[in-house]
A = this chain, B = another copy of it.
Amino acid sequence: MKLKELAEKLNLSQTTVSRALNGYPEVNEATRERVNKAALKFGYSANANARRLAMGRVGAIGLVIPADSSQRFGPHTAEFLAGLAERLSRDEIDFLLSPIVDNDEISVYKRLISSKRVDAIIVSGPVLVDERVSMLIDANFPFVLHGRTNIDRPHAWLDIDNQGAFYQAASHLLDLGHRHIAMIDGLRGFTFSEHRELGYRQALSERGVEIDPRFIVHDYFSDEIGFRETQRLLSCTPQPTAIIAGSMMTALGVSRAVRNKGYQLGKQVSLITHDDVFPYLNASNMVPSMTTTRSSMRSAATRIAEMLVRVLDGEPVDNIHELWPVELTVRQSSGPPISG
């Protein structure tokens, strides 16, 4: 069923039917009602492509995702998508996931823009100087960045205080008396990862604690890495008495390695985890319950979606940025150091 047919059935012009359907004010209310009823009855719904071609607006936002089986597409991404969906569905905005082809990420963004398939883009996982961001600014294409990058031109972003998170975690451990503290975080190069390391270093430096490079790990977020690296760390001399884990997945591996060695969390080894709030994996339910720095991926995504709508409504982007604090929740997995 197309507009023309619907119009014929109603003995109206396409124009009027279109206007009625799209809520234009100049339509007689009686007519509008008649049209709406008919549309419903015949299951009419506008051809999105024609509509967009005519309007130049799309009703979808784009998201570029890794296509390989890398670990970059994990539970974090899932939470993120869920958060976006939650907000965007209100405005009937869909999202288009474009896999990266040929490992050429930037050109996927370019195609996405020039092919006019999306009204705006969400950029995730920025690195310190992110060329995607400068490209999008150059192209004057609407976007919101999830995270931060060192590019000093106005753009919309939302980030959590990663530096503060690890600073708090490390400081808490230092307060407890720990002097050998390790961190196992995400891949190097990503802003969040660098910021976290910064926070960690800052806390240690402030107390005059020397930084042992063997105690700083950057890798994928996974159970396995957490396990392996913890085993390695626990065979170092001196041994770390505390570990900060960058994700819940990592933390699961850390816990396992600690248990495996006959140690207890919160005793021989303290553990603080950054928790992105997974509905299916809850830090407070663990045994022992886990001390965390906590920040919800899902809420961040929902908020980002909101910011995106504002950007699309033409609000100037220099006002659109938020830095979310991260809250340290002390539970049982962290305690004063005891000699192993």
Contact = CB atoms under 8 A, between A and B. Distances in A.
A68 B117 CA distance: 25
A46 B116 CA distance: 8
A85 B71 contact: no
A99 B110 contact: no
A67 B49 contact: no
Contact of A287 (B44, B260, B281): B260
A75 B50 CA distance: 36
The binding surface of chain A is classed by DSSP as mixed
B71 A280 contact: yes
Contacts of A278: 74
Interface string A275-315: 00011111001110000000000100000000000000000
On chain A, which size bracket covers the interface? 35 or more
A86 B68 CA distance: 6
A259 interface: yes
A97 B69 contact: no
Contact of A249 (B43, B227, B281, B298): B281
A69 B115 contact: no
Contacts of A114: 1, 43-45
22 contacts: A45-B115, A48-B115, A49-B58, A65-B82, A67-B85, A68-B86, A71-B279, A71-B280, A73-B81, A74-B78, A77-B78, A81-B81, A85-B99, A89-B100, A90-B101, A94-B97, A223-B280, A224-B280, A252-B281, A253-B285, A256-B285, A256-B286
Interface of A: 1, 43-50, 52-53, 58, 60, 65-69, 71, 73-75, 77-78, 81-82, 85-86, 88-90, 92, 94-101, 110-111, 114-117, 220-224, 227, 249, 252-253, 256, 259-260, 278-282, 285-287, 298
Given A73-B85, A227-B285, 10 more contacts: A47-B115, A48-B116, A49-B58, A50-B53, A60-B96, A67-B89, A81-B97, A94-B96, A222-B280, A222-B281
